Structure 1
Amino acid sequence: MRARDKFIVVALIALFVVVSGAAIAIDRAETKTIVPAYGGTYVEGVTSAAQYLNPVLAATPVDDDVVRLVFSGLTRFRSDGSIEGDLAQSFSTSEDGKVWAFHIRDDATWQDGKPVISDDVVYTVALLQDKAYVGPYSDAFRGVKVERVDDRVVRFTLPDAYGPFAASTTVPLLPSHLLAKVDYTGLPRVAFNQHPVGSGPFRVIEADARQTILGRNDSFYRTLPDRTRPYLDRLVLRSYPDTSEALTALGRGEIDGVGGLSTGDAERARGLKNVNLFSFGTNDFTALFLNVRPDKAMFRDRAVRQAIATAIDRGRVLQVAADGRGAVADEFVPQSSWAYIRDITRYTRSYDDAKALLDAADWKDHDGDGVRDRGGVKLSFAITTSNEPARVAAALQISDDLAAIGIRVELKAMPFTELIENAVPDRTYDALLIGVNVSGDPDPYSFFHSSEVKDPGRNFSGYFTFTMDRSLEAARRTTDQTKRRELYTIRASACGTPRTGM
């Protein structure tokens, strides 16, 4: 059971970590003030269209955006990744961590005026537990029993204690009074998917292949009676075949903004008149995972891992792969997260230090061919990654850095689908360069626990220790954030100081 596990591993096992930056171009408004005002319509150019405006079926980026604005869950994430009530006024857990109770707000209503009740939770979870469902929430409620206590109270019973469970309840809910007779197999065929009724701050006014129009929900529970309401009256997501056409529309003043720009698109946007370009951080990481499984003896040498970590110029990698949009990271969670660990081992690039580490371990160029060796084994390996330009650029820079200290690196680039369907599950790569999005509760269990070494587990490096296993298991058994951070610190320390006994 995982609450949409999406994490990243770092330090010696994941030696190269970059937090990506995203760019958005906004038509410059001719205004004298920077104080936001209520009202108005914002039109954004997008490169997909609405297909299923339903949190269980969402299939396109527009679907995902609309779902988060039109629907809401029992809980939601704060900016630091911690959980607070959304539809739920409060929630609690039993002493053993297996039973969770959520109390739904009395003022929570659907956009048709009907109250949000526990039946809506039971119905939504049943859809996500259907054997045919394979979406992003497929693991969130696996093995979990959900039951209606009364109209406003719902109870979850877990097979085992799971501290991060509250993150699972951020899943947007569906109205049972409109859909109760529809099972998962019938859900794709209902008109609700184009004309949804949600409980969020915006409602769908119109949705077709050309555009999706949202209007402010004036009965939204978090804005009543005197709380802040959304500033916009309307939000329009207008579809274009590609980003180039969307930017053309922006330049003509037909739309107000375009998001998710590549480096090249951002440069084009920068040249448009009356357009401002904004960059903002995302929780997207890229990491190089060294495979330390028994058949990869070279990487089981602590000196080799330390030397690689010390030789790679991650700042330069960021520059060539993402035009510098992002930041070098030393942990698998964003600095804004409550679980971010500041006191961990950090590595500063130094060719001299890297060479000294290898020399001390007798990894030397004994035969004079420019590649270090020991006992007849060459210090040479391949980086497996996708053939996306940014990934290839990153891998080539890493190769150059390691060549400078006598390590030969080969690049194995392939289509992303082949990487995910074949190379990653196979686990026979030497090193894996891959991107991971961090969202939700920062439970790193699937990336570090020994039970996750084989596919479909996410322990890509195959690295684990008894201490790490115990700390990760203990962190899952408590809901106390302070205790969880302490336990995650144990895990981070074990990774930050590379070990040979793996």
Structure 2
Amino acid sequence: MSDANVTRRAFVGGGMAAALAACGLAGCGNGGGRAGAVTASDVDATHQVTIAMSTENEPDAGFDPCVDWGCGEHVHEPLIQSTLIVTDEDMNFAGDLATDWSCSPDKLTWTFKIRDDATFSDGQALTAADVAFTINTIRGSKNAQADLSMVADATAPDDTTALITLSKPCNTLLYTLANMGIVPEHAYGSDYGANPIGSGRYKLVQWDRGQQAILEANPSYYGEKPNIERVVVVFMAEDAALAAARAGQVDMAYTSATLADQAIEGYSLEAYDTVDSRGIQLPVIPAGSERADGDATYPAGNDVTCNVEVRRAINLGVDRQAIVDDVLGGYGKVAYSIGDGMPWASDDMRCDYDPKAAKAQLEGAGWALGEDGVYAREGLRCSLDLYYPASDSVRQSMANAFANQMAQIGIEVNAHGGGWDDLYPHEFSDPITWGWGSNSPSDVYELSHSSGTMNYSCYSDATVDAYLDEALAADDVEASYPLWQQSEWDGVGGIAPAGDATWVWLANVSHLYWKRDGLTVARQKLQPHGHGWSVLNNVDRWSWQ
């Protein structure tokens, strides 16, 4: 997901003292055999875990899937609510509330058979009517961040059958449903986010805004009982999370590559692979037009990046491995596309570092190297402004490293930091260091289709559009993989660096956590953008030694 339209909130509280006070309230550090444990519940110490997350992971609207819980900026399983289906660690679909599902021959009607033994935590039965209510509430809400724009209607002809009618074929709907929690029609209202009722593995028992959220196993859950019965999440700034780990107050604590060289007794640094990509969009049209983003209208186009040879040269001139090594300290992998490592990603997106070939691209198109070391053509210098969020030290370092590498191939890049309100007006006209990535090929569509909601490069190609539309209409998700790949490169054209080169992808950042010795974390999926709740997707299967 993108960073767009995200509320950035400062850490709530009085620094480390408040953070550790929050831990004391939660009973932090009370796993098996840890010294100094504080027990704040009757749950056995070997069945609890406390994790420190960024303050940005606290859901602004509470734990409401009809707004942004489990979806939007940080995609993850909602834990408190059940979903129709789930994805396993290899991104295969499996049933949760749905025991079976199928799509009509015209690809416009999905039928889900709903299990009859699911109840909400208030004792009321969950039926297909709740599924239909949830979907219709999301599609009718201006605040909802789950993308159900392709849904025309949802109905429940009986208690165990839910029908979802689409306005166009869209098999990526399944990925959305795998993270979309079902809410109770009888108990949904304006305060639901603070007092959620669900049918999932856990229930929310306490939420202290700005400090912590406590989840405990749902005794009415229809599935296997969670091994970890109590999950405490404390929301902290990064330096406070590090201090909490040093003090033994948490079992896991998020961190970044800039702090990964620390050592904490009794903890190991865990690095989880992700599709949390860092990349830079390259506008493909000349300056002089405008594009709308919601209610706002911004300038569009760039007179330098509108030249395909410049975009190809940029891709060839990036030493991605050096960025991974120098900026991320090796905690990441080079990125060539959105979704590297997923089955729909194309190997043809790969672009090896070749500065000589980068210069040859420019010189072959008539650009000449000036005395100032910057290429120019017909009075136009090959000079760009690159924006990055000033609050993100990693992206700042990436932007500066990228600028230094571009200077080596005769492209001038001027890096500018700012808040997101400063960056958004440049989204269609100047390169920005973005963060993206979800466990769905829909990102390929949104970034590359002419009507894509995140098409910041202003790209439009009829052949690519056709591949993307056909991918959405494929008989099943597996059948769509070759079509997504062909949209990137079909041997003649596409968005790949050898083709229209609409983006330059730099790295997939590893999600880093300090983990207390003795805690076993179940095998993770490739984690999406958003360093937080996704690590808890399978917390019910964690254990203490």
- TM-score above 0.5, yes or no: yes
Count of residue correspondences: 445
Equivalent in the alignment of 1:255: 250
Find 2:412's aligned residue among 408, 411, 427: 408
Which structure's relative contact order is higher, taking Cα pairs within 8 Å and 6+ residues apart? 1
Equivalent in the alignment of 1:313: 319
Equivalent in the alignment of 1:322: 328
TM-score by length of 2: 0.73
Find 2:486's aligned residue among 486, 490, 493: 490
Return closer, same or farther for 1:419/1:479 CA change in 2, 3 Å cut-off. farther
Deviation, 1:148, is 1.2
RMSD: 3.4
- Aligned counterparts of 2:272 and 2:117: Cα–Cα separation in 1: 34
Equivalent in the alignment of 2:49: 42
- Is the contact made by 2:258 and 2:394 (CA closer than 8 Å) also made in structure 1? no
Equivalent in the alignment of 1:176: 185
Superposition map of 1:185-200 within 5 A:
187-188=190-191, 192-200=192-200
Equivalent in the alignment of 2:102: 92
- Aligned counterparts of 2:501 and 2:406: Cα–Cα separation in 1: 24
Matched letter for residue 199 of structure 1: S
Structure 2: state its 5+ residue gaps.
4-28, 35-43, 288-301, 503-545
Return closer, same or farther for 1:468/1:123 CA change in 2, 3 Å cut-off. same
- Aligned counterparts of 2:345 and 2:501: Cα–Cα separation in 1: 27
Equivalent in the alignment of 2:403: 399
Find 2:63's aligned residue among 53, 59, 65: 53
Return closer, same or farther for 1:413/1:198 CA change in 2, 3 Å cut-off. same
Find 1:357's aligned residue among 340, 361, 369: 361
Matched letter for residue 309 of structure 2: A
- Is the contact made by 1:118 and 1:153 (CA closer than 8 Å) also made in structure 2? yes
Return closer, same or farther for 1:57/1:473 CA change in 2, 3 Å cut-off. closer
Return closer, same or farther for 1:126/1:347 CA change in 2, 3 Å cut-off. closer
Matched letter for residue 338 of structure 2: F
Matched letter for residue 214 of structure 1: L
- Aligned counterparts of 2:469 and 2:433: Cα–Cα separation in 1: 27
Matched letter for residue 439 of structure 2: S
TM-score by length of 1: 0.79
Larger helix share, 1 or 2: 1
Structure 1: state its 5+ residue gaps.
8-25, 32-36, 224-228
Deviation, 1:58, is 5.3
Return closer, same or farther for 1:172/1:401 CA change in 2, 3 Å cut-off. same
Deviation, 1:87, is 0.7
Matched letter for residue 198 of structure 1: G
Superposition map of 1:245-284 within 5 A:
245-259=240-254, 261-267=255-261, 270-284=262-276
Deviation, 1:321, is 3.3
Deviation, 1:263, is 2.9
Indicate the SS of the match to 2:113: strand
- Aligned counterparts of 1:178 and 1:153: Cα–Cα separation in 2: 21
Give per-residue Cα distances to partners, 1:138-164, cap 9 Å, x unaligned.
x31565211111001011111222222
Return closer, same or farther for 1:154/1:423 CA change in 2, 3 Å cut-off. same
Return closer, same or farther for 1:297/1:418 CA change in 2, 3 Å cut-off. closer
Indicate the SS of the match to 2:327: helix
Indicate the SS of the match to 1:322: coil
Return closer, same or farther for 1:83/1:500 CA change in 2, 3 Å cut-off. closer
Return closer, same or farther for 1:206/1:434 CA change in 2, 3 Å cut-off. closer
Give per-residue Cα distances to partners, 1:198-250, cap 9 Å, x unaligned.
11112233333454332223442232xxxxx422122222455x343343333
Instruction: Give percent identity, aligned residues only.
Output: 24
- Is the contact made by 2:423 and 2:432 (CA closer than 8 Å) also made in structure 1? no
Equivalent in the alignment of 2:436: 436
- The answer to whether 1:303 aligns with 2:303 is no
Find 2:283's aligned residue among 267, 282, 291: 291
Find 1:340's aligned residue among 338, 345, 351: 345
Deviates more, 1:489-498 or 1:437-446: 437-446
Equivalent in the alignment of 1:160: 168
Return closer, same or farther for 1:362/1:291 CA change in 2, 3 Å cut-off. same
- Aligned counterparts of 2:371 and 2:283: Cα–Cα separation in 1: 27
Superposition map of 1:7-26 within 5 A:
none
Give per-residue Cα distances to partners, 1:424-472, cap 9 Å, x unaligned.
2xx222x3322113233445222111234xxxx3111123322101111
Return closer, same or farther for 1:315/1:154 CA change in 2, 3 Å cut-off. same
- Is the contact made by 1:355 and 1:405 (CA closer than 8 Å) also made in structure 2? yes
Indicate the SS of the match to 1:123: helix
- Aligned counterparts of 1:66 and 1:326: Cα–Cα separation in 2: 20
- The answer to whether 1:204 aligns with 2:194 is no
Deviation, 1:488, is 1.2
- Is the contact made by 1:80 and 1:338 (CA closer than 8 Å) also made in structure 2? no
Return closer, same or farther for 1:397/1:476 CA change in 2, 3 Å cut-off. same
